[in-house]
Structure 1
């Protein structure tokens, strides 16, 4: 925790020495770098007559039904509210001092409630100091500067879920300090630097005091300038970029003495392990076409941990790597076709415990109000290959409605 304390002192010193710089508040759509949620409009906003505070309210939900056919199992269907989110943001006293809160209420967000476990309603609870358009500092619980698909809101996805590699190798929300240095211009070379020091245990962790921290760093490069309407933060070219736009990004995290199988996510390990994650992304958009590719990996020494009271009981860090490839085209009628192919390979240490996977997805989306109101259809096939040479093929068909403000 020493690193957290030192960064906190640096954060306070920065605030006390910063010059007063005006920050534009011409509308209530606050662009917070760790919260790049897709916003078509501005939500419902309230600003006090003396402009001392501002409150914006937004919601969104995803309703879905799926037909599922797993090999060697009876076919079934699943209907659920996949996500139901409520978000508040604004400022207090001065537009340079911002806040954001996001709550989740759907069972798939909260997870199964177990005795002695926290109820995971709180997704984000974070305060910001933004002295100018370049620097942003935050303290609290929110998304880390991770891989592109994780940083994007689930409301800004083209398919109904993120990829299998994002599910296994992503770094997720965490509590700590972040600093972002942003240099984005419309039609010239741009770049961003982002860093974080966090607990490493994920959101709403209170089981035990911590003896390790997670260190995260990320670089983003935009050779042809920024995307229109922050288009790097949602999938698909729904704004039809008039000129090619490209983002290249890469990052690294070392999660020291992690307690969970996937760092900020997963089940509890019987012994702590230090995890290292690498991620890289490329996004290209032009005239309705969009292409994205990603690489994610996680490594750990001696990833398998055993119950000291029962040698037959064990858990392990999910180590391995994977690639995602995604392409789409948006027709003038606002129908979009999407294809994604993912490969995932586990490391040798756990190859007898988890399969290698290939995933194929095809989707069709009808945008009624950009990403804020859309209808989505998807067919996905998972091809699982096990260490003993066996193979399973699972697939599903899904329909989903997304709506929000």
Structure 2
């Protein structure tokens, strides 16, 4: 809330000052869904834009065996405030983002971005490390209401460090994008790392050229690509001696933590043509010390890493049936490691089947989404469960 107060004060005091100076200095002020609220000094020395994203969600979950009551769900799924700006040189920009997801308020992004050349960009600060495609896609641009269970389960999380991106053109159309990240590996707002660093690398190949309006990271084919477009990607991630929390049974339910090595592989691809879009992702993550057996006083304790290892595959797609309406479909198969899940008394396999419908009032800036989900969960030492979940979400983003 302290950060929100600071942003509000900046908005209240700074913007009127710039507006009052408009008569003599001709400051540029614009407001649009695409650019948000944008202010630039007359001499071009500095500029910034303030934008927001609100996603209100309503739904309910019904156990198919009626063993539990129907669970209604009213949720402000996301509430974001974002500031993009530059100072002195438009090649050196900054990006700050606060977020309230499921009631948790955090500072997610706080980074500098330097466009060194047309093909090379360096980002520094708290940011997204290298990972799968959907993890690196902003929530504004989702085709479905949320990321797939696979992407949510195996994402690396925000971290502090740097990312370098380099684009290489091959021939007249083909393009290769490469990413390298080096972060401290301990997550958000950690000034120092307990263990080693985290390293990530990613390659993407676009054999038929770039997508319209960055469409390889905007999931629905809103621009109805006139020719087939394809992007194939792969990433590796290694976090050495990550200081992860562990939980279990015994006198203390949550242990302080321990150093652990985490490695992951991500493979993905997106295809678009004439209103049709298909996105597929595979993830595999390994956590070296998932289960630990300890003796604490008179207790024999089995504890486990709170970072989930395992694999999963997800495929989704949609096809516009009118300029603004798109039916969607997704199948997500999540297979976390059995021993770890059994220790946590959680599912060892989760299959999710989703039917959806999107109505875009103004692209991803203003949209209404509806989903019907069937979740099937298998347990090692308990009865399998099946749920029917209905979700509706209204999104505003500018």
TM-score (norm 2): 0.84
Measure the CA separation in 1 of the matches of 2:170 and 2:87.
28
* Alpha-carbon contact 1:89-1:98 (below 8 Å) kept: yes
Paired residues for 1:311-350 under 5 Å: 311-312=300-301, 314-316=303-305, 317-350=307-340
Q: Residues 223 and 135 (structure 1 numbering): CA distance in 2 closer, same or farther, change over 3 Å?
A: same
Measure the CA separation in 2 of the matches of 1:225 and 1:40.
27
SS at match of 1:302: coil
Shift of 1:302: 3.0
* Alpha-carbon contact 1:61-1:84 (below 8 Å) kept: yes
* Deviations, residues 43-86 of structure 1 (Å, cap 9, x unaligned): 11111111111111111100111111235211021112111101
Paired residues for 1:5-404 under 5 Å: 41-70=34-63, 72-104=67-99, 106=100, 108=102, 110=104, 120-183=105-168, 188-205=173-190, 209-260=193-244, 270-306=257-293, 309=296, 311-312=300-301, 314-316=303-305, 317-350=307-340, 352-353=342-343, 354=346, 355-388=348-381, 390-404=383-397
* Alpha-carbon contact 1:270-1:315 (below 8 Å) kept: no
* Deviations, residues 265-319 of structure 1 (Å, cap 9, x unaligned): xx87732210101001010000001111110010122311356635435122411
Which runs of 5 or more structure 2 residues have no equivalent in the other structure? 1-27, 247-253
Measure the CA separation in 2 of the matches of 1:107 and 1:401.
15
* Deviations, residues 100-140 of structure 1 (Å, cap 9, x unaligned): 00111x35162xxxxxxxxx521100012212211111110
Shift of 1:209: 4.3
Measure the CA separation in 2 of the matches of 1:356 and 1:127.
40
SS at match of 2:51: strand
* Alpha-carbon contact 2:291-2:302 (below 8 Å) kept: no
* Residues 389-398 or 72-81, more deviating: 389-398
* Deviations, residues 124-157 of structure 1 (Å, cap 9, x unaligned): 0001221221111111001122111111111111
* Deviations, residues 316-369 of structure 1 (Å, cap 9, x unaligned): 241110000111101224111000001111235425334211111111010000
* Alpha-carbon contact 2:185-2:193 (below 8 Å) kept: no
* Deviations, residues 166-191 of structure 1 (Å, cap 9, x unaligned): 11111221100111102369961001
RMSD of aligned alpha carbons: 2.4
Q: Residues 252 and 109 (structure 1 numbering): CA distance in 2 closer, same or farther, change over 3 Å?
A: farther
Measure the CA separation in 2 of the matches of 1:370 and 1:124.
24
Q: Over alpha carbons, which structure has the higher Rg?
A: 2
Q: Is the strand fraction higher in 1 or 2?
A: 2
Q: Residues 59 and 296 (structure 1 numbering): CA distance in 2 closer, same or farther, change over 3 Å?
A: same
* Alpha-carbon contact 1:186-1:225 (below 8 Å) kept: no
Q: Residues 306 and 177 (structure 1 numbering): CA distance in 2 closer, same or farther, change over 3 Å?
A: farther
TM-score (norm 1): 0.82
* Residues 82-91 or 39-48, more deviating: 39-48
Measure the CA separation in 1 of the matches of 2:61 and 2:142.
21
